Structure 1
Amino acid sequence: MRRSRALPFFALGGLLPLLAGCVVHVDSGGFSARKEQRFRVEGRPTIDLATFDGTIEVQAWDRDEVLVQVDSRASSRALLEGIDVKMSQQGRRIAVEATAPEQDGWQLRGGGISRTARVVASVPVDSEVRIRSGDGAVHVERVRGVIDARTRDGRIVMREVGGEIVADSGDGAVQMEDVDGRCTVSTRDGSVLVSGRLRGGLRASSGDGTITVRAADGSVVNGDWQIETGDGGVVLALPDVLDASLDARTSDGRISLNGFPDLPIEQEGEGRRLQAVLGNGQGRLRIRTGDGSITLKRSFVPPPPAPPAPPAPPVAPESPR
């Protein structure tokens, strides 16, 4: 960013331009800047979004273009000017990256030093999106294509997504709802929720947290399903029709069944094990927990409400005789 003359203190709340499409805003919370750019695309684009520290939000829309907005914030103007935001396009590939140099001495007289760069992107529904955040949450909605989202520290939330999906957090919960496709979900410390039509394989793991998987009608174990947590319970809800070879084991906990009355449970010391064939047994469904219970139950999706009855036609008045 190009240096401009510093604002006096009485100008707090004013705007100061830095670059085309980028302005600095000064308020009681520090210094902030916004950079925005549109990219025209044809076909499925490949979009790389990365920030050193901050939330990344991606939402699909029905346009053949990508709109990216990066909001940078810092506790001082010098720190804000040190944030470098690069945006580029080569054919169908779009790259957006916010970086900042390492800083020594993270405490100053009168307060601490902080800086973030939040990335917000609107993309076509059919997109290939790669997301990387050094420290921040990730939110993705309505994208159907390829999604690879990773953050070293933060929560990951995805809704109405489909295709090939990867979600990995170093420290944070992962929540995925209305999924349609193949999923690889992992966190070193946090809970995991996966819900939807699961097809093509499932891997859900947590180093320390509960895992809940709700497989809707139409789910298929046509690739191995592996669900594993080091410390936490597992809840697996399955539809009435599903073919799989089930192998569930807990080292220290119980196995509870709801809707599967005939499946055998074996005791192994402090733990339990369940091996059974569901349907024709095609596909492998493996569940492991080091310390926690396993609950296996039937999925239930309530039917949609009945449409309201149409209003009765008006009664025509009788003609005088």
Structure 2
Amino acid sequence: MSLTHPLAAAVAAVLLWAPLAAQTQVIQPIKAEKTTETRTVPLAAGSTLKVKNVNGFIHVEAWDRDEVQFTGEFKPSSRDEQVKVVLESGKNGLEIRGEYPKHNGWGSYQGPQCQMTLKVPRRVVSSLETVNGEVALSGTRGAASLTTVNGGVRAMDLGDSLQATTVNGAVTLERVQGGLTIQTVNGTIKGTGLDGLGRGVKAETVNGTIHLQIAGLKGHLTATTLNGGITFKAKGAEQVEVAKRRVTATFPGGDQDIHLSTVNGAITLD
């Protein structure tokens, strides 16, 4: 009895059920000069997108296609090095990361840069992270995490929960629907057209003002500051307590927590 046919069938079955291997593209300009590179890779709606950078902004805008268009604006280092950008697709989504040369030693050195601009499917779960540069996201309908150190964070027309974090920069939000967690150290927090959708709103800074416009306030408000005033529209509020540096209130109809905190700055809630 021949084993050839059953063996071939078994191998075919293994290949059929094996997970798809990751597909990788690498972008690294050869010449030591400013240049722009563009790549397009497929990404199904509802997938996860991770973008990591170091020196350069990350700007992401939604479009109605099941693919990601990446555009990188490259600038070489003072030693003619270029950033290597890796685009890695797998069963869990797409990861785009900038890999930077290591630098040791003394003397003046200016590292390479890559400014990243992307167009992505509207329904995507996003994690965007850089160190030196702004992070901006608009138009998506999935949960998002935006992180930088030296730069601002901007978000516009989002339809799910958002976590936005920076150290030296402002956070600016427009028309964000979903739970919010916002943190900065040296910067203001400003948001218009917000709605926590019952999932809560948390905004914290140290050196900066907080000014938020939240639709249909429902839940428990706590606002604290050390050096600055607190202003909010108390119409319909219950259990209002006003102290020198702290205000608490309850808005009937929901149980979400609205927590606003700064040290050096005023708080305004519309």
Which TM bucket (shorter chain)? 0.7 to 0.9
Cα drift, residue 274 of structure 1: 3.5
| SS at 1:144 equivalent | coil
**Partners of 1:132 and 1:106 in 2: CA distance:** 28
Cα drift, residue 48 of structure 1: 1.3
Cα drift, residue 117 of structure 1: 1.1
1:228 maps to which residue?
A: none
- Mapping 1:1-321, distance limit 5 Å: 31-76=33-78, 78-80=80-82, 83-104=83-104, 107=107, 113-195=110-192, 196-199=194-197, 200-216=199-215, 239=216, 242-256=217-231, 258=233, 260=235, 266-267=242-243, 271-280=244-253, 282-297=255-270
**Partners of 2:250 and 2:202 in 1: CA distance:** 20
Given the superposition, is the C-alpha separation of residues 215 and 102 from structure 1 closer, same or farther in structure 2, using an over 3 Å criterion? Answer: same
Contact 2:237 2:249 (C-alpha < 8 Å) held by counterparts: no
Contact 2:206 2:264 (C-alpha < 8 Å) held by counterparts: no
Given the superposition, is the C-alpha separation of residues 128 and 175 from structure 1 closer, same or farther in structure 2, using an over 3 Å criterion? Answer: same
Letter in structure 2 aligned against 1:290: V
**Partners of 1:163 and 1:174 in 2: CA distance:** 17
Deviations along 1:201-223, one digit per CA (max 9) or x if unpaired, are 1111112111111112xxxxxxx
Given the superposition, is the C-alpha separation of residues 21 and 212 from structure 1 closer, same or farther in structure 2, using an over 3 Å criterion? Answer: same
Cα drift, residue 38 of structure 1: 1.6
Higher relative contact order (CA 8 A, sep 6+): 2
Q: What TM-score do the two structures reach when normalised by structure 2?
A: 0.77
1:301 maps to which residue?
A: none
Letter in structure 2 aligned against 1:147: A
Deviations along 1:120-153, one digit per CA (max 9) or x if unpaired, are 1110000011111121111111111021111121
Q: What TM-score do the two structures reach when normalised by structure 1?
A: 0.66
Number of equivalent positions: 243
**Partners of 1:262 and 1:119 in 2: CA distance:** 45
Given the superposition, is the C-alpha separation of residues 126 and 272 from structure 1 closer, same or farther in structure 2, using an over 3 Å criterion? Answer: same
**Partners of 2:90 and 2:253 in 1: CA distance:** 48
**Partners of 2:236 and 2:178 in 1: CA distance:** 29
Letter in structure 2 aligned against 1:159: M
| Structure 1 vs Structure 2 CA RMSD | 2.9
Higher-strand-fraction structure: 1
**How much identity, in percent, do the aligned residues show?**
24
